[in-house]
Amino acid sequence: MSRRSASPTKNFILRIARDEWFKQVFEIKRYYPGVARRWERDGIIFLVKRTDRGDSMVGYGVIKRFIARDDLSEKERRECERTGWRGAIVFDELYKFEPPILIKETILGGLKAKGRCWHGYPVTLEQAKSILEDAKNLSTIKAI
């Protein structure tokens, strides 16, 4: 009997809880996750934020690298320790959706996840492709 293991995804959703973090991500092209995942080069991270219409995808980024907390600068490391962040995702490419796309208007709309349940949610390659196709049809994609 052979055992096949499912290939782990390298695409995820990260939910941005604070406006200051939302601005920071697009200014410095970094995200400091508190959730443990295998952040791999070329993985796609969909950024979600609560809007007045509901949880919405505000953009996405392509991972350049992940820097573990212990390998960050002293200042960044202290901030990560204070907030419980595990390190920094550095984006190679970063895009903003204008207007944001409601999650319920994507392939993920039928799922029961809501609010902070989206934070760290794995996205299959097929789902990622579908979301990006929806973004082309529902929004303007602006490179940052």
Q: At residue 19, does pLDDT exceed 60? A: yes
Strands 11-16 and 44-51: parallel
* Of residues 78, 77, 91, 88, the one with CA closest to residue 44: 91
Residue 99: which domain range? 11-143
The model's pLDDT over 40-82, given as tens digits with 9 standing for 90+, comes to: 999 999 999 999 999 999 999 999 999 999 999 999 999 999 9
pTM over 0.75: yes
Q: Report the candidate in 22, 84, 15, 74 with the shortest Cα–Cα distance to residue 45.
A: 15
For residue 3, tell me if it sits in a domain: no
- For residue 79, give the CATH number of its domain: 3.10.590
Q: Is residue 2 part of a domain?
A: no
Give the rounded percent of residues in the chain with a pLDDT score beyond 90: 80
64 occurs within a structural domain: yes
| Number of domains forming the structure of the chain | 1
* Residue 87, domain member (yes or no): yes
